Amino acid sequence: MVAKQRLLLVITLALIGGCGADQEGDSGTNLAVSSLPGVYAGTFPCEGCPGIHTRLWLQADGRFFINQHYPAVEGRQATNAHNLGRWHWAEGDHALQLDGAGPTRSFSRPNADTLVMRTHSNLEHRLAREPDAPDFSATIRMAGMVNLRGGGATFSECLTGLVVPVEKNREFTRLRHQYRSVGERGRPNYVELEGRFQWSRGVLQSMTIERFITIKLDAGCNS
């Protein structure tokens, strides 16, 4: 009788231990969202080309930048496409979502260092963490609110909400002239431009205008 009771106790403890191990394993697969920020890179499949080199920057403040290089093929020159916006983790879908210009992009996260874009293709669109990647430095078309104060200006980008000082150059002078001729000093005005961000050790410092496009009165990021 005693032996039988001991056997039942051993079986019970084994079952409890097994359940505990399963629960611990499940919790271990729940990767912390706080570990998502970083740079991810890879080559997406492309019909008729060697592949689309893609690099994605996820900032800790919830903003993202993405650069995609389309290689030259017969009858088409190499091109680069850029985008920026905000990212968040959609708990219900268990996916990283990028909200910028164009459709929302979703990524699964099979492990801490890998993102896989969800597509209708049977081919995998995989990005891997890139620890020593450079900062995002591409020239990109942007829209936002510019505010001139004193001799300088700040630019608030519409999609990300980033507010950065504007470097002074010839295109800044063009913008300032248009601002003063049509706008009210000290009041933000909507502008469209091509610009490039300046970084220092991963921290955004300023924005350089590569090409000033237009300024619009009575317009804003939500109009």
Assign 3-state DSSP to the chain and report helix, strand, coil percentages, each to 5.
Answer: 20, 45, 35
Residue with tokens 């001139």: 148
Look at residues 129, 159, 193 and tell me which one is the last residue of a structural domain: 129
> Residue 38: what pLDDT?
95
Is 125 found in the same domain as 38?
yes
Low-confidence ranges of the chain (pLDDT < 70): 1-30, 183-185
> Residue 212: what pLDDT?
97
> Residue 113: what pLDDT?
96
Compute the distance between CA of residue 33 and CA of residue 56 in angstroms, rounded to an integer.
16
Q: If you count them, how many residues does the chain have?
A: 223
Q: For residue 34, which phi and psi values (nearest 5 degrees)? A: -65, -15
Is 125 found in the same domain as 173?
no
Burial track 72-98 (b if 16+ CB lie within 10 A, e otherwise): eeeeeeeeeebbbbbbebeeeeebbbb
Q: Please report whether residue 151 resides in a domain.
A: yes
Is 43 found in the same domain as 118?
yes
Q: Please report whether residue 21 resides in a domain.
A: no
Q: Please report whether residue 149 resides in a domain.
A: yes
Is 151 found in the same domain as 118?
no
Q: What is the pTM of this model?
A: 0.82
- Domain total of the chain: 2
Is 160 found in the same domain as 103?
no
Domain of 209 in residue numbering reads as 140-216
> Residue 184: what pLDDT?
67
3-state secondary structure of 42: strand
> Residue 134: what pLDDT?
92
Look at residues 104, 129, 154 and tell me which one is the last residue of a structural domain: 129
Across the strands, what pairs with 191?
144, 215
Residue with tokens 């271990």: 28
> Residue 183: what pLDDT?
64
Per DSSP, 132 falls in state: T
